[in-house]
A and B are shown apart, each in its own frame.
Chain A
Amino acid sequence: MTTARPAPDAVDPEAVESELQRVGRELAAAFPSSSRQPLRAFDARAMELATGDQELRAALFRFVDVVPACRSLDDLAHHLTGFLGEVGETPPPLAAAMRISHTRAGRAALGAAAAGGVRHLAHRFIVGESPQSALPTFRRLWNGGVASSVDLLGEATVTQSEADRYAARCNDAIAVLSRATAGWPTRPRLEADGSGPVPRANVCAKVSALTPLLAPEAPRRGQDDAARRMRPLLRAAHEAGAHLHIDMESLDSREAVLDLVLELLSEDEFAAGPSSGLVLQAYLRDSPDQTERIVAWARQRSAAAPPLTVRLVKGAYWDHELVQARQHGWEVPVFEDKADCDRNFEALSRRLLDAGSSLRVAIGSHNLRSVAHAIAYNRVSGGEDVDLELQVLRGLGDDLAHALAARGFRVRAYCPVGDLVAGMAYLVRRLLENTSNESFLSAQAQGASVQELLAAP
């Protein structure tokens, strides 16, 4: 149990830093050689080109984005060459691609190659079309010491029937996973911590998919509409013994999402469960205040319920938040300096870990420094490794997950499930994020030393 922690200011920062360096190096040593680094493996050339050249990066992403809407190989090739045509200087292999597109047969060949490339890329990130079809992957991960969480990709929800369909898919995922996982072999690390059992079946849901009525200026409207679909999901999760996690999206919906989760979980019906959680985004300048609100809420919650899981992430909508604020003339709500964001991430990790057993802390990051910091602080402040969960995104954090699992940490891979059309927005976001100059993964892919990667922000 983590209740016997020393006062936060009694924790020696130097001890944390040296433990962090030790843990970080240990994990780094367990990574495969750089040639197998995730960003290199699937389409080394394209990624390398994309990270180096902004115009080309834009062209390739615009292409990936439109793939599902293309109706033929010819159409695909046409789009690809259209985007490449806007790039000032086309690298030789792509210039060759554009030349062959002048004939119909050439376009068919190019279209087929491009479609294959994108499908291949998508499958790195998206584990299957449905929870059912992804089961073998989840099972393989479990056998390798990695738990999973399923995220149902979908088109934007703009109608009530789309919201109903999404809720039905979540419901189905809860049923399929809880049934299938019951037969899995025991993995004590993945199934319990100091507060008690940790469900095997774990499903993530997005509030924006549970209602078409979210409006930033009227959060209550979407919140109430989503609540009527979320209650049955909480009920289903409770009955099946599954965990339901609510993802966080852009700041436009934060108030609705946070109020929704905290209000529903405060209802009598859910006083004893299910296991559930929410997400805290450290890139937001006001995230410390949000943290206090969540910590205070968790403290006063009945002890009959499993502790609320708080997944700490940096945040996936950084560009969006920045651009939106600039277009409207608003104060930018996110940190604009990556080091500030990283330092805040570390501060919030400490704050959550200090909050003790009323919360479960999950660190969602592929940044070795951020992850090692949470592990080190937890240890130095007297916590047990088992009381910290580490989460990665499937396709991006696979090596980190295995390194962590091999060292006996509880790791969970967040696994998107859905068809290619639905997955494309997700894929594009992941690609943009990880080819940006500020990204840890791209620094790692470009061969930064362990020392650099572990340097304090």
Chain B
Amino acid sequence: MTATEQTPFANEPVLELRRASVRAGLQEALATVEARLPVEVPVRIGADRRAGDAVISTDPGAPERVVARAAAATSDEVQAAVAEASRGLARWRAVAAVDRARALRAAAAWLRERRLELTALEVRECAKPWLEADADVCEAIDFLEYYARGAIELSRGRELVQVSGERNDMSYAPRGVVAVISPWNFPLAIPCGMTSAALAVGNAVVLKPAEQSPALAGALVTALRAGGIPDAAISLLPGEGEVGAALVAHPGVHAIAFTGSLPVGREIVRSAAVVAEGQHHFKSVVAELGGKNCVIVAADADLDEAVPAIVGSAFAYAGQKCSAASRVLVAEPIADQLLERLAGAVEVLVVDQAQTLGTDVPPVIEAAARERVLRYGELAAREGTVVASAPPPDEPGWFCPALVVADLPENSSVLSDEIFGPVLAVQRVRDVEHACDVVDGLAFALTGGLFARDPETVRRVRDRTPVGNLYVNRGITGAMVGRQPFGGNRLSGTGLKAGGPDYLLQFVAQRAVSENTMRHGLVV
């Protein structure tokens, strides 16, 4: 496809699961995937592959089921991967933007052809319920399609002021070797987004995926290479945290794209600031970190809409999204009504296996996560009142009850820590202004919600809120590429918004060239 044939970007349509014929395909895909488990995920540096089993990913809903056996990259392999990436960079940056875009779009096509199987793999490896898993696969495809188009746009450069006798232009060059460190909660979309943005503008990438989801990262690398990205330009280093740390510290890395928790993000920013002997660049860090996301419910809100939207935002995928709602700030006049309806709506949530259609709350990712969530649940019960809970099934799997808590003291850590689980705290506020003060007092500023019908209230909150993504009269998760560019402020992130028109700028170095066009007193 040539640049002129480029169709405008459109989001990949999610499965229409309300149709029985569409649902019918899911179990078959699951069976196909299960027959192939466990998946082998080798260290992949250039054309080399080294298999291993130092990292094992298991099904959070059935911990005895091994989903993937991955090798853990050694420090020598980190060195080798960066060296290979430097070679890959030389080749890949020389490829024209349209041709790079073509490769990314071919990778999107590869994913598209295997959508159901990838979705099923997410159901198993991360306990993502079908709806959520499907959305993740679609988002991965969207990132490839969106950044491919954006990079072509960027390659045209920018208009500068031109006066006679000189020719000025500004263009965008890749930064170099980009280390991508990705989380498990959007196991395909997030690594794909960071990686494809870096690749689209000509960088080489070394990907270190979360140890909980190596199988999906492996599939991503396969897709990119199948699409035509040179082996040397995309390497895969499965492993635990120290692999990521070694990558970040490596002087041959130019930029780091990270999505994950605040403590790790802080450590990355610190480590990346060090300029090693002989390192001739500052590393840039693109970090998407946590959130403590509040939904404000004004006195004139429509509770028929607010309640289901809040429940979905707080409990879908067991609250394991950085965008998930974890606090509700409700105006006093409707607080009782909201609490009663919210409690009733949470009591009917189905906590069950991810592969069961109709599951609202799947198990959390791993044993340690379950312990953490249960600990916060106990703390919340001690410091406040549990107003509703949906019980977990009596099955192996890292299940946690879904909880709604009220009456917490202002200094409760339940109100400030990112719990990353199915726990929602509700707090009464005098009015919207008071709610804005509460939001303003938080260290995080990722997403936020507002339910209100008065246009003036909407304007006021828009103006005051520090959050990166404010959602008005709707759920606060599910940002779509190109429609809701995503990313936070304050300690929620450093970067420009993912899936937005400016994201690629973080992966380029700007170059301005001014050429004198006067020769012997004449303009030539």
Select one of B11, B347, B453, B454 contacting A160, CB under 8 A. Answer: B347
Q: Give Cα distance in the complex from A216 to B308, angstroms.
A: 14
Give the number of residues in B that approach A within 8 Å (Cβ atoms): 37
A88 in the interface (beta carbon within 8 A)? no
Contact A217 B18 (CB under 8 A): yes
Q: Which residue of A lies closest to B13 (CB)?
A: A329
Interface 1/0s, chain B 115-145, versus A by CB < 8 A? 0000000000000001100000000000000
Query: A158 is contacted by which of B11, B301, B341, B456 (Cβ under 8 Å)?
Result: B341
Which residues of B in the span 422-438 have a Cβ within 8 Å of any Cβ on A?
Answer: none
The interface-forming segment of A42-50, A76-84, A387-395, A403-411 is: A76-84
User: Closest Cβ of chain B: how far from A329's Cβ, in Å?
Assistant: 3
Q: Encode contact with B along A201-229: 1 for CB under 8 Å, 0 otherwise.
A: 00000000000110111111100000000
Q: B455: CB under 8 A from chain A? A: yes
Residue A155 at the chain B interface, CB threshold 8 Å: yes
User: Of B12, B340, B343, which contacts A329 at CB under 8 A?
Assistant: B12
Cα of A85 to Cα of B458 in the assembled complex, Å: 13
**B1-39 interface with A by 8 A CB criterion:** 10-14, 16-18, 20, 23
Task: Name which of A66, A159, A162, A217 has the most chain B CB atoms within 10 A of its CB.
Answer: A217
State how many angstroms separate the Cβ of B334 from the closest Cβ of chain A. Answer: 8
Q: When the two chains form the complex, which single residue of A155, A161, A328 contacts B16, counting CB atoms closer than 8 Å? A: A328
Chain B proximity mask over A222-254: 1 for CB below 8 Å, otherwise 0? 000000000000000000000000000001100
Binary CB contact string for chain A from 407 to 437 against chain B (1 if under 8 A, 0 otherwise): 0000000000000000001000000000000
Interface centre among A69, A79, A83, A220 (most CB of B within 10 A): A69
Select from chain A the residue with minimum beta-carbon distance to B307: A158
**Any A CB within 8 A of the CB of B63:** no
Establish whether residues A79 and B300, one from each chain, have CB atoms under 8 Å apart when the complex forms: yes
Give the chain A neighbours of B456 by CB distance below 8 A.
78, 82
How far is B458's CA from A66's CA once the two chains are assembled, in angstroms?
A: 14
Q: A65-B302, A328-B13 are in contact. Are A86 and B455 (CB under 8 A)?
A: yes
A158 engages B345 (CB within 8 Å): yes
Q: A82-B455, A216-B17, A328-B14 given as contacts; is B348 within 8 A of A69 (CB)?
A: no
Chain B residues positioned under 8 Å from A323 (CB to CB): none
Q: Are A212 and B345 in touch, CB under 8 angstroms?
A: yes
**B300, A70: Cβ atoms closer than 8 Å:** yes
Q: Considering the complex, which residues of chain B in the window 267-307 have a beta carbon less than 8 Å from any beta carbon of chain A?
A: 299-305, 307
Asked if B170 is at the interface (CB within 8 A of a chain A CB), the reply is no
Neighbouring B residues of A330 by C-beta, 8 Å: 13, 16
Contacts of A83 in B (CB 8 A): 455
Given A71-B333, A155-B304, A160-B347, check contact A329 B10 (CB 8 Å): yes
A155 and B358 in contact, given A217-B17, A255-B20 (Cβ under 8 angstroms): no
B344 at interface, CB cutoff 8 A: yes
A343 within 8 A of B: no
The reply on A156 being an interface residue by CB < 8 A is yes
Query: Which residue of A69, A86, A159 is within 8 Å of B453 (Cβ)?
Result: A69
- Closest Cβ of chain B to A66, distance in Å, is 4
Contact A66 B18, CB 8 Å, known A78-B454, A79-B454, A158-B308: no
Query: Within the complex, what minimum Cβ distance (angstroms) separates A103 from chain B?
Result: 18
Q: In the assembled complex, which residues on chain B have CB atoms less than 8 Å from the CB atom of A69?
A: 299-302, 453
Interface flags, B312-338, vs A, CB<8A=1, else 0: 000000000000000000000100000
With the chains together, A62 CA to B307 CA distance in Å? 19
Residues of B within 8 A of A251 (CB): 18
In whole angstroms, what is the CA distance A409 to B87 when docked?
A: 85
User: A212 and B23: CB pair below 8 A?
Assistant: no
Of all chain A residues, which has the CB nearest B26? Answer: A217
With a CB–CB cut-off of 8 A, which chain A residues contact B358?
215, 217-218, 220-221
Q: Is the CB of B347 within 8 A of A159?
A: yes
Q: What separation, in Å, do the CA atoms of A79 and B348 have in the docked complex?
A: 35
| B357 interface residue per 8 A CB criterion | yes
Contact A156 B454 (CB under 8 A): no
Residues B302 and A212 in contact, CB atoms below 8 Å apart: no
Whether B17 lies near A425 (C-beta < 8 A) is no
Residue of A with least CB distance to B11: A329
Q: Does B226 have its Cβ within 8 Å of any Cβ on chain A?
A: no
A221 touches B453 (CB 8 A): no
Residue of A with least CB distance to B12? A329
Contact A158 B344 (CB under 8 A): yes
Kindly state whether residue B350 has any CB partner on chain A within 8 Å. yes
Q: Mark A129-167, 1 if CB is under 8 A from B, else 0.
A: 000000000000000000000000001101111100000
Roughly how many angstroms separate A219 CA and B22 CA in the complex, as a whole number?
Answer: 13
Residue of A nearest to B20 (CB): A255
Contact B130 A217 (CB under 8 A): yes
Q: A212-B345, A221-B358 are in contact. Are A66 and B14 (CB under 8 A)?
A: no
State whether A155 touches B14 (Cβ < 8 A). Answer: no
Complex Cα gap A328–B15 (Å): 9
In the complex, the answer to whether A159 meets B303 with C-beta atoms within 8 Å is: no
Specify which chain A residues have a CB less than 8 angstroms from the CB of B350 in the assembled complex. 221
Question: Which among B16, B303, B348 is the interface contact of A212 at CB below 8 angstroms?
Answer: B348
Determine the residue in chain A with the shortest Cβ distance to B458.
A82
| Alpha-carbon separation in the docked complex, A220 to B20 (Å) | 11
Residues of chain B within 8 A (CB-CB) of A62 are 453
The residue on A at minimum CB distance from B16 is: A330
Using CB atoms, name the residue of chain B closest to A216: B18
Give complex CA distance A366, B11 in Å: 39
B16 CB contacts on chain A under 8 angstroms? 328, 330
Q: Mark B443-467, 1 if CB is under 8 A from A, else 0.
A: 0000000000111100000000000
Question: Looking across the interface, which residue of chain B has its beta carbon closest to that of A251?
Answer: B18
A156 near B453 with CB under 8 A, answer no
Q: A159-B344, A162-B344, A221-B350 are in contact. Are A329 and B304 (CB under 8 A)?
A: no
In whole angstroms, how far apart are the Cα atoms of A211 and B16 in the complex? 22
* Complex CA–CA separation, A62 to B308 (angstroms): 20
Residues of A within 8 A of B348 (CB): 159-160, 212-213
Q: How distant is B183 from chain A, measured CB to nearest CB, in Å?
A: 25
Docked complex Cα distance between A79 and B299 (Å): 12
Q: Would you give the shortest CB distance from A257 to chain B, in whole angstroms? A: 12
List the B residue with the shortest CB-CB distance to A220.
Answer: B358
- Residues in A with CB closer than 8 Å to B302 are 65-66, 69
Q: Is the CB of A159 within 8 A of B345?
A: yes
* Set A82, A216, A425: member contacting B454, Cβ < 8 A: A82
Which residues 157-192 of A have a CB within 8 angstroms of B?
Answer: 158-162
**A216 partner residues in chain B, CB cutoff 8 A:** 17-18
- Chain A residue contacts of B17, Cβ below 8 A: 216-217
| A159 surroundings in chain B (CB, below 8 A) | 340-341, 343-345, 347-348
CB distance from B132 to the nearest CB of A (A): 11
State the Cβ distance, A72 to closest chain B Cβ, in Å: 11
Known contacts A158-B345, A213-B348; is A85 also within 8 Å of B453 by CB? no
> In the complex, given contacts A70-B300, A329-B12, what are 4 additional A-B residue pairs having Cβ atoms less than 8 angstroms apart?
A83-B455, A159-B343, A159-B348, A217-B357
28 A–B contact pairs at CB < 8 A? Answer: A66-B454, A69-B300, A78-B456, A79-B453, A83-B455, A85-B455, A156-B308, A158-B304, A158-B307, A158-B308, A158-B341, A159-B341, A159-B344, A159-B347, A160-B347, A162-B341, A215-B358, A217-B18, A217-B130, A217-B131, A217-B357, A217-B358, A219-B18, A221-B358, A251-B18, A255-B18, A255-B20, A329-B10
Closest 10 CB pairs of A and B: A159-B344, A218-B358, A329-B13, A216-B18, A217-B17, A156-B304, A158-B345, A218-B357, A66-B453, A221-B358
